Amino acid sequence: MAHTFLLFNISGGEFIIVALIFLVLFGPKQIPTMARSSAKVIKQVRNATNDIKREIMNSAEDQKLTEVKKTIEEGHDALKEATDSIKRGTKI
């Protein structure tokens, strides 16, 4: 069974054809510049994606903290009510 080279879901032969088309269209001098520009864009997209992931994680963490705080406040209110009830019951 032969293994085929796949990059972006294209085979090795298709990749060579695309590379030749780029070479003919843009020339050998422009390809390195285009590759650097493409790398910068990919890096910026990756950084933006990481920033979005970080914001989502922080938002989820904030939501969890809000839920925990609400639960603690509810427990505090119930405990205060119980202690007030006990205090009222012990007063003569």
Q: What are phi and psi of 8, to 5 degrees?
A: 55, 35
SS3 65: helix
Structure tokens at 37: 């520009």
Give pLDDT, residue 54. Answer: 93
DSSP 7: B
pTM of the model: 0.50
- pLDDT (tens, 9 = 90+) of the chain, 92 residues, equals 455 555 567 788 888 898 889 889 888 888 889 889 989 999 999 999 999 999 999 988 888 888 888 999 999 998 998 888 888 887 65
